[in-house]
Amino acid sequence: MTEQIQTLTITAPDDWHIHLRDNDALKTTVPHVASQFRRAICMPNLVPPVKTTQDAIAYRERILANVPTDSISQQFEPLMVLYLTENLTPQDIQDAVDSGVVKAVKLYPAGATTNSADGVTNINNCTDVFAKMESIGLPLLVHGEVTHNHVDIFDREKRFIDEVLTHLIVKFPKLKIVFEHITTSDAADFVISQSKNIAATITPQHLLFNRNHLLVGGVKPHFYCLPILKRQSHQEVLLDVATSGNPKFFIGTDSAPHATHTKENACGCAGCYSAPFALSLYAQAFDSVGKLENLENFTSINGAKFYGLPVNSDKVTLVRESWQVPENYEYVGNKTLTPLMAGQMLDWKVLPFGFAV
């Protein structure tokens, strides 16, 4: 019998998709992400959204103002994203790249998820922007779901591939695209079939859970996210491709904070909060299929290379040690924030940066 790995030291990871929110929420979310990751792609769906380079620079300053003052946390770098609207111009794209802080543009189909009302209604109105992005190598991040009311919520990712993404790639074959938080075998197969310009992020919840966890025995609001959890067969494919070592797939937690009372509600908000312990969740997923040796590529190598950024130089150590996820964290206005797997036990603990066994 193969002896279990007890400690694992890997290159320090990055999070290529996270929601930090804004203002007082940053007091909670920023220290959490800075404790786990060296860099993070910060989603722009604020109220109002991050639509201009000036917006991005200002948001970045608000994030940095909430980074803890210890020397380790101070190394955290937020990577900014513009929110794609049909009013964005090629000059806006050039200004974004020239700023040095904007690393991508995010496509939200209007109404697809939290704070997406200002998203795109007709993708054909963005062709000049896509052409400019293609020419200078700025990645497009896509929330890959159609939003037509008549389309079943479990089919929306597949329909997006067929009706939007396939055609976009044909028109702009050299455009770098990250298919974010994929949830289906259809999406995994599609990404694998495309050129090296097409990659995907996968969340911890879509590796560890499926729609039974959300629905059996009553709706579990803290498992509710968009795109929604799918069948177990899809979960198994995602776990297979994530742990395979394929450089097209990398970490993107999609950690999204909502106050507990807005999740545990007759109309609960979509989003799972995992920022403080996401690396432990990914380790749990990789360990479940005996692929811990590929965790580093997924969390620390593949994303940096896709974005054309240097791989982090320092390390982080995980130890096989059972610990309990907190029931909640303090949040805005004396509210609480209930994380994914609140009160449950995890098998892997991440040591603070700079510590090793």
What is the separation of C-alpha 230 from the centre of its chain, rounded to a whole number of angstroms?
Answer: 17
Predicted confidence at residue 1, as pLDDT, reads: 43
Q: Which residues of the chain have pLDDT under 50?
A: 1
Q: What angle do CA 326, 7, 293 make, to 5 degrees?
A: 105
What are the catalytic residues? 254
pLDDT in tens, 171-202: 999 999 999 999 999 999 999 999 999 999 99
Q: Concatenated DSSP letters for 208-230?
A: H--HHHHHTTS--GGG--SSPP-
Handedness of CA 127, 128, 133, 134 (dihedral sign): positive
Percent of the chain with pLDDT over 70: 97
Is the distance from CB of 107 to CB of 141 less than 8 angstroms?
yes
What is the separation of C-alpha 194 from the centre of its chain, rounded to a whole number of angstroms?
Answer: 21
Predicted confidence at residue 73, as pLDDT, reads: 81
Handedness of CA 18, 45, 271, 298 (dihedral sign): negative
Predicted confidence at residue 2, as pLDDT, reads: 55
Predicted confidence at residue 70, as pLDDT, reads: 86
SS3 track for 132-183: HHHHHCCCEEECCCCCCCCCCCCCHHHHHHHHHHHHHHHHCCCCCEEECCCC
Residues 6+ apart with CB under 8 A from 164: 109, 123, 144, 146
Predicted confidence at residue 351, as pLDDT, reads: 94
